[in-house]
Structure 1
Amino acid sequence: MPGGSIYVQQDPKFTGSSPQWYYEKFWREDTKNRRRNRAIKAAVGFAAGLALAIRFDLPFPALYALGLAGIVAGADWYWYWAQFRATAVWRGRRRGEAITGKTLRRALTKQGYRVLDGRAIRGQASIDHLVIGPGGVWIIDNESWSPDTEIASYGGRLFFGEKFGTKVANGLVETGNAFAELLTKETGIPVTITPMIAVHCGMMPRGGLLTAEGLTLLKPHLAPRMIRASSSAALSTTQVELLARIAARELHRM
């Protein structure tokens, strides 16, 4: 992965000096506030349900009120849980490559695509996933930024918060070119590789998709859809199998 892997568990990430540690600490400390606010919301839901039941002369109005209160409390709990779970890769509690790899296989294998995980050119660049199929070839890396990091494009340039993303983009584009050159040389099939980053945490634009500086960044669940929608290449089943076989042989498994 260009710039190193986010999955190497460095000590500071699991100590009191890291943003991840503070995030989890503040989350736990805020539990009482979330529960109190949830109870208030549920009470409002109860009152609304009771008023509606009386307004429409429904039988057993208390049951409708309790039901609406339960729905409100459940929705509130799920919203906060989903927000916390979305940071799991950034916090080091889940592995992004495992999530993306599973997503790719479920959605693409039956469509004639081959997914190879953890591949590298010996002594050079490495990537998390190599996807080969009827629509072309892709490399996909997994990345995760802090929840408040805005990922955006301004004037065609990529930004992660206030930092330029050119180094990240160039690194993955160069990796794609190196992989394409190797596959073309070994198979005789002209190969162009599209680089992607599956973003597991960070503030993405509406729709969860961004393209800048030759790189596509997207939420992991969108990757199969983007790949299936591509028509940049028309590879036959024989070509797909040949490329996958050569990639498995020539590219070092990490």
Structure 2
Amino acid sequence: MGGAEPSGPAAITLEDLDGVAEESPDSAYHSHGSSLEEEGAERMDDEEQERLLNYWQSVGRGHQVDVPRDMAEPIQQLTRNNSPQERQSIPFTLIQRKEKLGDLLYEKRQYGKAKWACIKMKEKQYEQSICLGFMKLMRYICEQNSSGLYLGITIPIVTIVHTNESQSEMRQAVTVAYYLPEVLQDQPPHPFDSDIIIEEWPSTIVYSRSFRGITNEDSIMREINLLAEILESPELCLQDTFIIAGYTNPAAANRHNEIWFLQRP
């Protein structure tokens, strides 16, 4: 990244941030009791924060989203702790894989009962809702919680969306949710942000289909209709509630996403 302007309106991915973490001053400065070294490290730390914030602000403008200055520290923390080894995938049991001519059509999975940090959003555009919701969750993940600790990234970050019963139109209100890491499931840290609610979701069977690209109202409705055509018995699933699972940052142009249909209880 190197402080350059992004090549398009949406270019940040979790993978992109790995390279930035390698540039952290922590690897170049060690504590030897030198005030000059400490001052230099602090200055480099501030410069890194400013560079990352400027980059995210540039990307945010492409989504008509304002990235406030108080996001600088959470962005830096997320960047520094963003190695693939640190990301925890949400556990599930694979029940079935449906293929056609060697191509995967969908997977049937079971997710266990678990606690999630959830934030309800209702912006004019879906992209705005998920970006702003993700930033609120980032603050919670990055020490703005009762434990005062960095909680760690889990993937995917999911968004619950609703449609009318005919699945022809998506409703404005969505819920962005973060799965609490396994070690925090029994006692989730309390969010400082009163808009974030810790919810326990029941065990659920989902039908999951992968797709790539930016998510918006049109692409989501297209993917919902496509999976409905592929499933043998779509009537077994909820008809007006779906989940978008995101495996890359909401600002990424070529995101790895999944659409989930939820089997009726």
What interval of TM-score do these two structures reach, taking the shorter chain for normalisation? under 0.3
Between Structure 1 and Structure 2, the one with more helix by share is 1
Between Structure 1 and Structure 2, the one with more strand by share is 2
Q: Which has the larger radius of gyration?
A: 1
TM-score, normalised via structure 2 length: 0.26
